[in-house]
Amino acid sequence: MKIYKTQKEVEADIVDGKLVIDDSVVFECSIIISASISAGDISALDISAGDISACNITALDISARNITAGDITAGDISARNITAGDITAGDITAWDISACNISALDISARNISFYAFCCAYVKLVCESIKGQRKNSKYFCFDSEVVIKGDKQ
């Protein structure tokens, strides 16, 4: 297991824009890097990176361009835009996922709250969905939106 205590330690291990760890990694500090992260398991407070690839990610906050993981467990996933042809995970468990816009191939969630626009290409299934703006829109290109609970 690799343990990073400072941003400087992380930056020292970045080679050709990539931080590759062949084992589990723990970030005991918040990190902001433009590099890609690839590791078995990732545990961190806050992660902001170009691409994140891992079997399991446990973090309070995650901000990334692309995320590929077996499982994602987070306190908060916060981003201006989440474009999810590139969020691939077995399970995403989060207390809050906040985004101005969410675009994905498939969305399966308990409750979805978004600012103005939410769309999926193949499937959009949830228990509830609510836009924060008066004229907010959500839809799915290839199938009907399935709302198992109350539509809000």
Give the tens place of pLDDT for each residue, 87-117.
Answer: 555 556 565 665 555 656 666 677 777 778 8
pLDDT value at residue 62: 76
Q: Which residue has the higher pLDDT, 4 or 52?
A: 4
Is pTM beyond 0.75? Reply is no
Give pLDDT tens digits for 18-67: 899 888 888 888 888 888 888 878 888 778 777 777 777 777 777 776 67
DSSP class of residue 10 equals H
Buried b (16+ CB within 10 A) or exposed e, 46-72: bbbbebbbbebbbbebbbbbbbbbeeb
Please check whether residue 152 lies inside any domain of the structure: no
Please check whether residue 60 lies inside any domain of the structure: yes
Mean pLDDT along residues 69-86: 58
Mean pLDDT along residues 129-140: 87
Please check whether residue 118 lies inside any domain of the structure: yes
Mean pLDDT along residues 61-87: 62
Q: Tokens in use for 137? A: 């829109």
Q: Compute the distance between CA of residue 80 and CA of residue 21 in angstroms, rounded to an integer.
A: 28
Please check whether residue 56 lies inside any domain of the structure: yes
Please check whether residue 99 is in contact with residue 83, taking contact to mean a CB–CB distance below 8 angstroms: no
Q: Tokens in use for 119? A: 């769309």
- Boundaries of domain holding 111: 2-147
Please check whether residue 93 lies inside any domain of the structure: yes
pLDDT value at residue 86: 46
CA 85 to each of CA 67, 106, 133, 140: distance values in angstroms, whole numbers, following the listed order = 10, 8, 25, 14
What are the backbone angles phi and psi of residue 8, rounded to the nearest 5°? -60, -40
Q: Tokens in use for 27? A: 């970030």
Please check whether residue 128 lies inside any domain of the structure: yes
Structural domains of the chain, count: 1
Which residues are 118's β-sheet partners?
Answer: 102, 138
Look at the block and give the residue holding tokens 């042809």. Answer: 85
Please check whether residue 75 is in contact with residue 58, taking contact to mean a CB–CB distance below 8 angstroms: no
CA 65 to each of CA 28, 47, 82, 96, 137: distance values in angstroms, whole numbers, following the listed order = 22, 11, 8, 18, 23
